[in-house]
Amino acid sequence: MRLGKYELGRTLGEGNFGKVRFAKNTDSGQPFAVKIIEKNKIIHLNITNQIKREIAALKLLRHPNVVRLYEVLASKTKIYMILEYVNGGELFGMIASEGKRSESECRKLFQQLIDGVSYCHTKGVFHRDLKLENVLVDNKGNLKITDFGLSASPQHLRADGLLHTTCGSPNYVAPEVLANRGYDGATSDTWSCGVLLYAILTGRLPFDDRNMVVLYQKIFKGDIRIPKWLSPGAQDLIKRILDPNPEKRITMAGIKEDPWFKKGYVPANAEDEDVYVDNEAFSMHEAEQRNSGSSPAIINAFQLIGMSSCLDLSGFFEKEDVSERKIRFTSNLSVKDLIERIEDTVTDMEFIVQRKNDKLKVIWENKVHKTTGCLSVAVEVFEISPSLYVVELRKSCGDTSVYKQLCNKLLDDLSVPPSNRL
């Protein structure tokens, strides 16, 4: 298949919007990666603005450690992004297959990461989804940052000068992003770079748990275990980057002055070059919008992550199986209201309530069969953000059928409706 001066070859990857295919310039023989986006799919998903955002960001960025966009072409049905071809694959795959690397090798990768990310910040671009899968490494060991679909620029700041969209990937997201009070894009990107540094050095993530509630509690506390076998300099830098207080967290400029980071550091040079963008790339969508008289809806960033990286967050804090001894669910009621309503509900169900601070112990006794028909459940409320709380129920002992009734009643009365879940 030909696309102007490009000859398209094998498929490199496939997603919900289309495919990425290998391509070669028929004149020069230079390899490229072509991201082929189906117009009807992005119209249907109302994510045209996100595609435009990625193109706008990549048009600004000309750096050796950022994947380069060369041009954008279009047909009536497709958009073609002509991108730099990186032949080494994802950083995730390299770490998974090769395991732990020497500190000097890791330092070189991290230096390139910081070079690329700090350059983006000087251009007013905040990535907001830095993770192992969004960093590529070529066969010469050169790191390339990719996937700017969730990026933000100064025009996305609110009146308080902060970003407010909750987005990112769970293991990499900064605590201030979760707190839902607004955040600085550069500071939150710095946190994600700290997660990547830890992963590069150790081969695992600093914050990880299959339960999202536990994971986010660890992130809020900055609860990490740094291996003693890392050098003191590496340990110190990780601690300074993964400080849960964004006001105290080291800055990009501070990282570049850190003694461990500076060893053998040679800053990369940015380049200038225009990017050609075909004006027909979005014409079909814009004409359709004009005809319908509507404007495209902005998709929730967590939904976009689910679509673009196969990370399904639709069940982010979903109700767990009530047959389990422990379940968790979310509510947007305040702690005070939650405790009061839990007390009212369990009292109506003839439970005895014992309260200590924000913890409850509820006990039920079968008046007919006191020795066999009893139930004891601990109830605790955790704050995830100022507008999101988690209720945890832990069965200590007792009647499973009554426990299921209790769980179902509280789930129905207190949990966040599906349309309001993250």
Residue 284 neighbours by CB distance under 10 Å: 19
Q: Identify the residue with better confidence: 389 or 214.
A: 214
pLDDT at position 262, please? 96
Say whether pLDDT at 308 is over 70.
Answer: no
Say whether pLDDT at 319 is over 90.
Answer: no
pLDDT tier at 135 (50, 70, 90 boundaries)? very high
CB 314 within 8 A of CB 304: no
144-158: average pLDDT: 90
Question: H/E element holding 105?
Answer: helix 103-122
User: What percent of the chain lies above the pLDDT cut of 90?
Assistant: 40
Binding site annotation covers 35?
yes
Average pLDDT, the chain: 81
188-214: average pLDDT: 93
pLDDT at position 199, please? 94
C-alpha 380/C-alpha 359 separation (Å) is 5
- Is 0.85 surpassed by the pTM of this model? no
- Mention the CATH class of domain 91-262: mainly alpha
Q: Identify the residue with better confidence: 30 or 355.
A: 30
User: What percent of the chain lies above the pLDDT cut of 70?
Assistant: 80
Say whether pLDDT at 283 is over 70.
Answer: no
Say whether pLDDT at 301 is over 50.
Answer: no
pLDDT at position 321, please? 45
Cross-strand pairs, 50 = none
pLDDT tier at 298 (50, 70, 90 boundaries)? very low
Please tell me the CATH superfamily of domain 326-420, with its number. Kinase associated domain 1, KA1 (3.30.310.80)
C-alpha 293/C-alpha 89 separation (Å) is 43
Range in 110-124, 221-235, 372-386 with the lowest mean pLDDT: 372-386
Question: What is the SS3 assignment for 352?
Answer: strand
Say whether pLDDT at 59 is over 50.
Answer: yes
pLDDT at position 131, please? 94
Exactly one of 27, 115, 129, 236 is catalytic; which is it? 129
pLDDT tier at 193 (50, 70, 90 boundaries)? very high
pLDDT tier at 363 (50, 70, 90 boundaries)? confident
Q: Identify the residue with better confidence: 44 or 246.
A: 246
pLDDT tier at 387 (50, 70, 90 boundaries)? low
Residue 320 burial (10 A CB sphere; 0-12, 13-18, 19+): middle
pLDDT at position 273, please? 60
Residue 161 burial (10 A CB sphere; 0-12, 13-18, 19+): exposed
pLDDT at position 281, please? 57
Say whether pLDDT at 194 is over 90.
Answer: yes
Question: H/E element holding 10?
Answer: strand 6-14
171-176: average pLDDT: 94
CB 331 within 8 A of CB 415: yes
Say whether pLDDT at 350 is over 80.
Answer: yes
C-alpha 311/C-alpha 116 separation (Å) is 25
Highest mean pLDDT (candidates 134-143, 186-195, 283-292, 350-359): 186-195
**Best CATH choice for the domain 2-86+277-296 from the list 3.30.360.10, 2.60.120.10, 1.10.1740.10, 3.30.200.20:** 3.30.200.20
368-372: average pLDDT: 55
* Domain coordinates in residue numbering, the chain: 2-86+277-296, 91-262, 326-420
- Residue 129 known to be catalytic: yes
53-81: average pLDDT: 91
355-369: average pLDDT: 75
- Torsion, Cα 137 270 241 90, to 10 degrees, reads -10
10 Cβ partners below 8 Å, 6+ apart?
21, 22
Say whether pLDDT at 105 is over 50.
Answer: yes
- DSSP one-letter code for 213: H
338-361: average pLDDT: 83
pLDDT at position 189, please? 97
C-alpha 400/C-alpha 164 separation (Å) is 43
CB 386 within 8 A of CB 181: yes
pLDDT at position 213, please? 84
Residue with tokens 């028909």: 373
226-239: average pLDDT: 96
pLDDT at position 245, please? 95
Q: What is the pLDDT of residues 7-58, one digit of tens each?
A: 999 998 877 677 899 999 999 999 999 999 988 888 877 778 788 888 989 9
C-alpha 346/C-alpha 370 separation (Å) is 19
Question: What is the SS3 assignment for 216?
Answer: helix
Highest mean pLDDT (candidates 119-123, 344-348, 401-405): 119-123
pLDDT at position 235, please? 97
393 Cβ partners below 8 Å, 6+ apart?
326, 327, 328, 377, 378, 379, 406, 407, 410
Say whether pLDDT at 190 is over 50.
Answer: yes
Query: What are the φ/ψ torsions at residue 359 (nearest 5 degrees)?
Result: -115, 140
